[in-house]
Structure 1
Amino acid sequence: MTPNTDLPDPTGQVSDAYQGNWVDHRAPAWSRPYLRLSRADRPIGTWLLLIPCWWGVLLATASTGKFGLYDAWIMLGCAIGAWLMRGAGCTWNDITDRDFDGQVERTRSRPIPSGQVGVKQAVIWMGLQALVAFGILLTFNTAAIIIGIVALLPVAVYPFAKRFTWWPQAFLGIAFNWGALLGWVAHTGSLELPPVILYVAGIAWTLFYDTIYAYQDTEDDALIGVKSTARLFGKNSRKWLKLFLMLTVALFAVATIFALVPLANVLTLVIALGGVWFMGWHLAWQLRKLDTDSPENCLKLFRSNRDAGLIFVLFLAVSQIV
């Protein structure tokens, strides 16, 4: 008899989790459904939420020429907060999408549709994560606290975007890149033009990588009526992705120039712009390798955006120590 491959994995593992991840193999059994709900077995989302925070902090410290112990705490606090808020956001996403997830091959193994966690348990878990993250936020300055609280609005709206717009990836970009504003303000205490441009650059970057990600589900999304840029662009994807790539690089360069030119340190500016250049080449490599008909290829390239984002982080850091 042929086994029914539509049934969830009896071990509870999620289909698109990293093979050999610590949640499925080392975490206590009672905690695994909750950690899977937070995507702890798929850390790429935490990186993509955290990296803009680090951009904001490091661009701000580069613009002032000052990186202190408190800035190191901001970066660490953002890392812990990104893990927690990504978990809370994913929990919220799975609560709102539980009916859709059960109809999509890649997502039906998630904890709620597979029956590992009930909705009430998920709501409590979401609240606990958000509460701890709020405690970390309270260690930042008042302006950063306000920006952090306002960030909850796009997070709350994002799961519904795919129901009413073909551009849910733009809503994800609005939510995921908020840290660029937060990181800058946590250092400087005020919002200025460079972090706003950096934020828009991050949104363009998200449109690039999350469109690639969305190509994994185009067939299932079409069947259940879920919208995405992947479905919208169809066979014209490369033209649109090239546009997002160019916007990303151009806006990163403008944000960097606006932030660092007043510092009047040519070497710092050149090194930081080198990060923009190398990040652009990484995105160009992704576009060359992209096969929208291969879910495995799309997932691999999507995950590689951790490295793309960290390139700019590395160059910003180096620019301040030379």
Structure 2
Amino acid sequence: MFLVTQDGARVPIEDVPEAYDHGQNGLLDVAISPDFARDSLLYFTRVAPEDGGGVLALARARMEESGGRARLRDIETLWRQLPSSRGGQPGGIMAFSPDGRHLFLAVGDRMEPGTAQDPDAARGKILRLNPDGSAPPDNPMAGQEGIRALTWSTGHRNPYGLAFAPDGTLWEHEMGPRGGDELNRIRRGGNYGWPEVSNGDQYSGWPIPRHATCPEFDAPSLYWTPVIAPAGLAFYQGAAFPAWRGSALIGGLRAEGLVRVAFGADGKPRQADRWPLGRRIRDVAVAPDGAVWVIEDGAGAGLMRLAAP
């Protein structure tokens, strides 16, 4: 984990806990507290080593800066996914609600598809937590035990994008299997169907029923076949690219570029642009000055700032 200045100078952040760094697993996401100027809290997710594999873990810590160095202090684990797994597809992407009162956490199925429909399995869900990791009393199943009390929506496969639109709507994207990458409008208590339905097929070629055949599940608002392998999601509200305001920006691993999704007057999304960058884009963020930052995936990956000419 690094602290990076606007001109690209970076300082390594010390005392970051160990991660289970295998395949798709490792250190996953970082989000600053809505009140960071006062509390200096960082929230971060990783797959933590456990029992020969790893568990998705959500933690927070205070970041201290002094003498040109930065480090994490008072690390506190807020939630852990049990049991452990050696599978990939961990999810681990976070988004704070616009009012800063709740933290949403996307949890992948860890390559165990059936668990996404199991209400007692900490897989294939989007969770809604208080900032201290406890269950809000107005969650859909708040009066129940375990993962049920934290679950906001279910039936997700491999979510790597989670963000609130300017109108307060929560959007999520996830990778499909062989086809069918999804952009979903997330609703309270929604079930998005995985693995019962998908607009893609198994990697073996074995078909999966399409969303249209099972209207009891929430269908994606937009999907991609061939896939783009979406990773990272941010809504643009800056001044540098005024034509993009209100659009969603999505990184593409397979697409090796940046995708812009625009929304019509009826709220329906459509792909408006796709810019090839020749790089596997893992995450995207919008800075206060309107510049767009993207980070690559893989060995030798770079962090890039995209600004208006």
Structure in which a larger fraction of residues adopt strand: 2
TM-score of the aligned structures, taking structure 1 as reference length: 0.31
Q: Which has the larger Rg?
A: 1
Q: Give the structure with the higher percent helix.
A: 1
User: 1 or 2 for the larger relative contact order (CA 8 Å, sep ≥6)?
Assistant: 1
